[in-house]
Amino acid sequence: MESLSAILVRLAPYILSIAAFLILLEQINYLKKKRSVAGPNLVLPFVGNAISLVRNPTEFWDLQSAMAKSSGSGFSVNYIIGRFIVFIQSTELSHKVFANVRPDAFHLVGHPFGKKLFGEHNLIYMMGQEHKDLRRRIAPNFTPKALSTYTELQQHTILKHLKSWMDSPNSGTRSFPLRLLCRDMNLETSQNVFVGPYLSGESRKRFEVDYNFFNVGLMKLPIDLPGFAFRNARLAVSRLVETLAVCAEDSKTKMKSGDEPTCLVDFWMQDAIREITAAEDAGEKQPPPHTSGVEIGGHLFDFLFASQDASTSSLLWAVTLLDSHPEVLDRVRAEVSGIWSPESDELITADQLREMRYTEAVAREVIRYRAPATMVPHIAGEDFPLTDTYTVPKGTIVFPSVYESSFQGFVEPDRFDPDRFMEDRQEDRVYKRNYLAFGAGPHQCVGQRYAINHLVLFIAMFTSLFDFKRERSDGCDEISYVPTICPRDDCKVVVSLRCRRFPCLS
């Protein structure tokens, strides 16, 4: 009887021929889609340029940008794990993608492998009337009254964490990186603002562990097998949604009793209860869509994903840029001190927050200069004519770069200049089409006012409470993807107390 090794030797030429044929087909298919567009002419079989993307994302996307610019077309192409991709550098082409999110054009995915992570039915993937209806239901969560409630929660959490930084053995003399500290602060802020008192101590600890699994998996290859980070992330998302669903149901019970809202899910449930009651009064047997705990848990997770890492990125760049622009820092401190003092033992009110016009201009410029979520991935649901000469093939992952748009149109766009957003220049209006950090079109970020408020509050408190100095090293301010962008050294600073004491809040 012929041995297995002998059979393999005999079949080896055929196996190699089949493999070579498949590789050839893959290259031909890639070149057919690429046509004359800027991009690599040859790609590694099956994995494409995934290795270089994972190894050094900054270098990978810089190369895509350089190819798009040099070609004059405003976009370039590549190939990653069997998927053809298009990187869009041009603002006008990015708007074309954002404006055509519909079943027969582009589908927002939020992450190249997002559907595997988040599931099929999340807000990110909705289109048409269903998406409009859900955004209408979300709107009451971001009224001035709701935002005012959140600012109190935000400040209590920010102050708690800033105090812990000051209590660290390293404060005052030794530098320490802020990235993980800011991430933890933002995670607790999101928990407090979104679900407030409904997340118990044990659930909160498990929540943090699961969110870390999710964060790690975002940057890994989509290998959905036991022991791999992507599988851990996918399972963690399911547990996180379940936890948030319980919070939503607890809130619904509390709001039915007529209590005042104390967090985002309360405002949401207060409105949902009115809608449910109206449906019951009309004799409808089924509750309105998007009012169940599980559905709302999924949408709350969408909010968490959208705000968590992006906010962390902006806080780090705010510290980095204020340190390297002392004249801006001086103006921020002068404005804040004329409105609020840490020693007043009072929180910043919503009215005082609106008075901090220059500090808000700084926040907006931080977001423009270092757009945290640099790209917004979409998938082409059908062939789509991107330009007169090029049609994006169905199934392509398209990456409109909001980061690249931030450096187009504005006056001296490579310069960090908060004055561009002040009343006399109003570049946020003049170059509105280039300010895409919060997206555009039907999926534009519904919580952008909340995000701006959070950054302004952090800047006001951090600069009032602390003197700080970055620990400079070669390349420390270069961009690193984690998965949003942050300084390569994770923003190492030395901090010391600037005021006499921390606020004493009841």
Are 147 and 139 a contacting pair, CB within 8 Å?
no
Check whether 4 has a pLDDT greater than 80.
Answer: no
Convert the pLDDT of each residue in 343-357 to its tens digit: 898 999 999 999 999
Task: Report whether pLDDT(337) > 90.
Answer: yes
Question: Helical H runs in 114-200?
Answer: 114-118, 128-138, 144-166, 179-195
The mean pLDDT of 284-302, rounded to a whole number, is: 85
**pLDDT above 70: residue 506:** no
Nearest CA to 463 out of 358, 313, 342 is that of: 342
Of 4-8, 28-32, 212-216, 426-430, the one with minimum mean pLDDT is: 4-8
Task: Mark 359-391 as b/e (b = at least 16 C-beta within 10 Å).
Answer: bbbbbbbbbbbbbbbbbbbbbbbeebebeeebb
Could you tell me whether strands 83-88 and 176-177 are parallel, antiparallel, or unpaired per DSSP bridges? unpaired
Pick the range with the lowest mean pLDDT from 8-17, 170-179, 382-391. 8-17
Query: Which token pair is 145?
Result: 């009254």
Write down the pLDDT at residue 294. 86
d(CA 161, CA 6): 67
Angle at 401 between CA 368 and CA 405, to 5 degrees: 45
Q: Spell out where 336-426 has E strands.
A: 378-380, 384-385, 391-392, 397-400
- pLDDT tens-digit readout, 314-330: 999 999 999 999 999 99
The binding site for heme comprises 445
Better-predicted residue by pLDDT, 483 or 90: 90
Share of the chain above pLDDT 90, in %: 59
Residues 6 or more apart whose CB falls under 8 angstroms from that of 239 comprise: 206, 210
- Residues 87-112 pLDDT 10s: 999 999 999 999 999 999 999 887 66
Count of CB atoms within 10 A of residue 450's CB? 21
pLDDT at residue 121 in the model: 67
Q: Which of 114-128, 190-204, 374-388 has the highest average model confidence (pLDDT)?
A: 374-388
Helix (H) or strand (E) holding 80: strand 75-80
pLDDT confidence tier of residue 134, bands split at 50, 70 and 90 = confident
Quick check: 393 pLDDT over 60?
yes
Range ranked top by mean pLDDT from 222-231, 289-298, 449-458: 449-458
**pLDDT in the model for residue 492:** 96
**pLDDT of res. 1:** 55
* The residue type at 86: V
pLDDT score for 8: 66
pLDDT tens-digit series, residues 219-265:
777 787 888 888 898 899 889 999 999 999 999 999 999 899 999 99
How does the average pLDDT of the chain come out, rounded?
90
Taking alpha carbons only, the member of 369, 347, 281, 332 closest to residue 456 is: 332
Cβ within 8 Å of residue 358, ≥6 positions away = 331, 332, 335, 418, 422
Binding site membership: which residues?
Answer: 445
- Per-residue tokens: 359: 């500090």
pLDDT reported for residue 262: 95
Query: Which residues make Cβ contacts (< 8 Å) with residue 23, sequence separation at least 6?
Result: 45
SS3 label, residue 202: helix
Residue with structure tokens 């952090």?
458
Sign of CA dihedral 181, 186, 191, 193: positive
Pick left, alpha or beta for residue 246 (phi over 0 → left; psi -120 to 50 → alpha; otherwise beta).
alpha
